[in-house]
């Protein structure tokens, strides 16, 4: 008799109800048990406890991030291994990108932005990614960090362009509404927030560190009077915290930054500025609970070339954390990674670096959490960044490879946690209440000079004279300088044009002579414009803006220079696409009207022989009647191919995306006092929405058939600016809609399908 038959399987396994089945399984069960035992002996660390299991009795949070691809498809991301790894190892989590303004605010500026209520602004926000994050049951027991409410970076282009032209009051108001709207989306599901991110400048002009300049919210420091106090960064940031507390009353609120970790008493240092400002903000009523130390660190700062820990470095950061503790402020380690650069340290030395940093941080009574910025080396932002910024740097995270294999760095974190004493409580201090009064926190107001955009031709020839438009805000008599230069080392400047401007905002056209000796090159040049004090050069510039990907054409240049068609078309239209190209003999220009995602159905193709040299053509594309109505679903794809070629043979291409197919075929404004209004279809609801200016006058909508007969009329109450026009009962065809409001009137042509 096999000895395994003697083993009595516990009832919990259902042995008594199905003896035969379990007797059969017993050898398998035993093998599994012995394998498990072997694992425990062989690899005490990984088989014993995950980081989160180690952290549980110590009452600390060890976290990591969820990338966009991970959030979009947790079950399949990295062969389905990333998400189980996250849940097994960590008890805290942050979204790497999807909570940032560029993903939450709409792609275009909402209409009438300054008159929106919080609810109306909320309705323009994209909440689905945040919702997917906060409502996923698999992540229910992970502590959630919100990243980030207000940040100068990863904000939509329109905000960066228009907000510098707003008043201080408008910047304060918009910020308040955005934070409150974000609060409506998140409810009480976020535990802590990076309320403002990276607000401190990387520069210390005249030996004094300052707040970051040149941000979209720069007008918050223009010294104007607002309902919330004088427009200074100090007052603005205080109010950001007040609104964040109002929006998220249960969450801990942090100011988050990089390069602030090591203690430094110089007023030029970022560390001193951060400590002084965090304390001052709290003192003047900002409900600020703590500071996020991003902690993007470099291994060679932490260990010697023989692997000996630099204890001064760790002690210096400890001093910063303790200094903040003395002011009743917490610290969270929010984006930890320790990169290895130029192979100057053995990657195994990360173990001692991660261990020392985490143990020091977790040992501070005012620090309870460490979040690591990346699940694996291969997916970490340092590895992924390919613009030379981190040339030679890599291997920043604590695991690597397809199987999420722990590196020595992982063992360092585990040892740090194991070394901590068990605790009953996390020991968070009570939330800082702050006060909601308009701010009076001081600060030096100034209006930052700025370059908001540069717009020049994307393809030029040696000897050309071109016009480059520069949009700027000057605060004194200053210089606008435009360079035409190489976009890669040695960044040769071929032309420099200096224009004097006086104080004010505006756009100037700068004439740039492209010298005869500029070598040809596709996408190898750029225009850089900066604004600097009168007579001073780039080293003293306040702000700059670069237009990349400029080409110097030669005889054999082969590229599509530009291709621009209408952003919205209707079935039956003929869309005209203006194409500019440079080609050689034996090539064709092809333009497709097609879906802009898989299966990329092509509804129409235009094809024409390309003339050698630089040329402009108009490609006419008939939009067939059966193209489905949809917003943002199509593209014009313009390619240069050898004659007869297709996508695989393309030499160059440009695609214009986000094209709509709509049922409004054309818009004609007319009538007395030209009433400006917009009509757009809502095919799912079977109606048209009509947007008219808010007014105390009622609006009269009249729909005429193509023959001029009135087919529908409706009177809409005064004060409404969004109206719905139900056209269910009206047969397909062409109609004219006339809207009369007071003495203003306008007409549009509609196509009902």
Instruction: Please report, as ranges, the residues that interact with ligand 9MR according to CB under 6 A.
Output: 96-97, 153-154, 197, 258, 294, 335, 381
Closest approach of ligand 9MR to the CB of residue 502, in Å: 35
What string of DSSP letters covers 365-405? TT--EEEES-SSGGGSHHHH--SSTTTTEE--SSEETTTTE
Task: Choose between 96 and 261: whose C-beta lies nearer to ligand 9MR.
Answer: 96
Least separation in angstroms between residue 526's CB and ligand 9MR is 20
**Torsion (CA) 578, 580, 581, 582 in degrees, nearest 10:** 150
* Residue placing its CB nearer to ligand 9MR in the complex, 93 or 439: 93
Q: With contact defined as beta carbons under 8 Å apart, do 329 and 290 qualify? A: yes
Q: Is 257 helix (H, G, I), strand (E, B) or coil?
A: strand
Residue among 67 and 551 whose Cβ is closer to ligand 9MR: 67
CB of 84 to ligand 9MR, least distance (A): 22
First to last CA, the chain: 81
CB distance 176 to 246 below 8 Å:
no
Shortest reach from residue 471's CB to ligand 9MR, in Å: 24
Count how many Cα atoms sit within 13 Å of the Cα of residue 688 in the half-sphere of its side chain: 25
CA-based radius of gyration for the chain: 31
The least CB distance from residue 96 to ligand 9MR, in Å, is: 5
Choice between 102 and 120, CB closer to ligand 9MR:
102
CB atoms near residue 679 (< 10 Å): 22
Q: Nearest to ligand 9MR by Cβ — which residue?
A: 381
Query: Which CA distances in Å does 368 have to 100, 255, 260, 556?
Result: 24, 16, 18, 62
Q: Which residue has the tokens 């605010």?
A: 105
Smaller CB separation from ligand 9MR, 154 or 167 = 154
* Shortest Cβ 382–ligand 9MR spacing (Å): 8
| Choice between 381 and 530, CB closer to ligand 9MR | 381
3-state SS of 544-564 is EEEEEEEEEECCCCCEEEEEE
CB of residue 505 to ligand 9MR, shortest distance in Å: 28
Give whichever of 95 and 474 is closer to ligand 9MR, judged by the CB atom: 95
Shortest separation between residue 381's beta carbon and ligand 9MR, angstroms: 4
Count other Cβ atoms within 10 Å, centred on residue 19: 11
Q: How far is the CB of 102 from ligand 9MR (least distance, A)?
A: 9
Measured CA to CA, the distance from residue 505 to residue 354 in angstroms comes to: 49
What are the Cα distances from residue 647, in Å, to 151, 427, 429, 681? Answer: 40, 61, 61, 34
CA angle 681, 682, 683 (to 5 degrees): 100
Closer residue to ligand 9MR (CB): 95 or 561: 95
Closest to ligand 9MR by CB, 154 vs 615, is: 154
Among 595, 603, 597, 593, CA closest to 639:
593
Q: How far is the CB of 568 from ligand 9MR (least distance, A)?
A: 30
- 154 vs 496, beta carbon nearer ligand 9MR: 154
CB of 312 to ligand 9MR, least distance (A): 25
Q: Which is nearer to ligand 9MR, 335 or 660 (CB)?
A: 335
In this structure, which long-range contacts are made by residues 465-468, counting pairs with CB atoms below 8 Å and at least 24 apart in sequence? 465/511, 465/512, 465/513, 465/514, 466/511, 466/512, 466/514, 467/509, 467/510, 467/511, 467/512, 468/509, 468/510, 468/511, 468/512, 468/527, 468/529
């Amino acid at each position: 008799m096999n000895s395994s038959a003697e083993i009595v399987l516990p009832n919990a396994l259902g042995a008594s109800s199905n003896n035969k089945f379990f007797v059969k399984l017993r050898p398998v069960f035993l093998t599994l048990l012995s394998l498990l035992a072997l694992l425990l002996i062989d690899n005490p660390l990984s088989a014993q406890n995950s980081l989160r299991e180690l952290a549980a009795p110590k009452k600390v949070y060890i976290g990591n991030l969820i990338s966009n691809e991970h959030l979009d498809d947790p079950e399949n991301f990295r062969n389905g291994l990333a998400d189980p790894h996250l849940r097994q190892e960590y008890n805290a989590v942050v979204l790497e990108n999807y909570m940032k303004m560029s993903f939450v605010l709409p792609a275009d500026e909402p209409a009438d932005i300054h008159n929106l209520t919080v609810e109306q602004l909320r309705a323009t926000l994209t909440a689905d990614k945040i919702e997917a994050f906060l409502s996923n049951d698999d992540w229910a027991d992970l502590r959630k960090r919100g990243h980030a409410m207000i940040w100068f970076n990863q904000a939509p282009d329109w905000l960066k362009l228009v907000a510098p032209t707003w008043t201080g009051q408008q910047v304060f108001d918009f910020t308040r509404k955005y934070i409150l709207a974000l609060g409506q989306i998140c409810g009480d599901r976020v535990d802590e927030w990076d309320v403002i991110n990276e607000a401190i400048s990387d520069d210390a002009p005249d030996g004094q560190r300052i707040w970051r300049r040149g941000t979209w919210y720069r007008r918050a420091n223009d010294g104007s009077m607002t309902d919330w106090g004088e427009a200074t960064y100090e007052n603005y940031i205080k109010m950001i915290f007040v609104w964040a507390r109002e929006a998220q009353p249960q969450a801990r609120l942090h100011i988050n930054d990089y390069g602030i970790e090591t203690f430094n008493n110089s007023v030029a240092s970022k560390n001193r500025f951060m400590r002084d400002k965090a304390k001052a903000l709290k003192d003047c009523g900002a409900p600020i609970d703590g500071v996020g130390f991003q902690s993007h660190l470099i291994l060679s700062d932490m260990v010697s070339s023989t692997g000996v820990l630099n204890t001064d470095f760790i002690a210096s950061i400890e001093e910063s954390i303790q200094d903040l503790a003395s002011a009743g402020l917490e610290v969270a380690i929010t984006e930890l990674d320790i990169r290895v650069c130029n192979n100057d340290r053995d990657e195994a030395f990360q173990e001692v670096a991660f261990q020392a940093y985490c143990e020091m941080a977790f040992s501070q009574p005012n620090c309870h959490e460490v979040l690591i910025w990346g699940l694996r080396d291969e997916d970490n932002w340092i590895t992924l960044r390919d613009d030379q910024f981190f040339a030679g740097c890599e291997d920043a995270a604590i695991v690597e490879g397809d199987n999420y294999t722990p590196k020595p760095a992982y063992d360092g974190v585990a040892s740090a946690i194991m070394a901590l004493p068990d605790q009953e409580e996390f020991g968070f201090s009570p939330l800082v209440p702050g006060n909601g009064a308009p701010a009076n926190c001081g600060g030096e107001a100034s209006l930052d000079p700025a370059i908001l955009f540069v717009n020049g031709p994307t393809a030029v020839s040696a000897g050309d004279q071109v016009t480059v438009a520069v949009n700027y805000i000057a605060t004194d008599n200053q210089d606008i300088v435009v360079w035409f230069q190489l976009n890669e080392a040695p960044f040769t400047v071929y032309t420099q044009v200096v224009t004097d401007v006086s104080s004010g905002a505006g756009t100037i056209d700068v004439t740039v002579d492209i010298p005869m000796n500029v070598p040809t090159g596709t996408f190898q040049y750029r225009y850089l414009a900066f604004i600097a004090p009168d007579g001073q050069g780039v080293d003293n510039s306040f702000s700059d803006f670069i237009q990349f990907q400029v080409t110097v054409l030669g005889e054999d240049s082969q590229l599509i220079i530009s291709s621009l068609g209408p952003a919205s078309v209707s079935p039956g239209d003929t869309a005209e696409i203006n194409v500019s190209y440079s080609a050689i003999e034996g090539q064709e220009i092809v333009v497709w009207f097609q879906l802009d995602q898989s299966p990329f159905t092509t509804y129409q193709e235009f094809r024409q022989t390309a003339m050698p040299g630089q040329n402009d053509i108009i490609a006419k594309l008939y939009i067939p009647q059966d193209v489905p109505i949809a917003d943002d679903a199509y593209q014009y794809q313009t390619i240069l191919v050898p004659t007869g070629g297709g996508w695989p043979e393309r030499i160059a291409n440009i695609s214009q995306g986000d094209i709509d197919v709509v049922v409004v075929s054309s818009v004609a404004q007319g009538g007395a006092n030209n009433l400006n209004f917009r009509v757009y279809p809502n095919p799912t609801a079977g109606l048209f929405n009509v947007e008219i200016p808010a007014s105390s006058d009622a609006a009269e909508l009249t729909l005429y058939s193509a023959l001029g007969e009135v087919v529908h009329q409706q009177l809409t109450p005064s004060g409404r600016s969004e109206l719905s026009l139900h056209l269910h009962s009206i047969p397909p065809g062409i109609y004219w809609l006339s809207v009369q409001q007071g003495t203003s009137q306008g007409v549009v042509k509609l196509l009902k399908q």
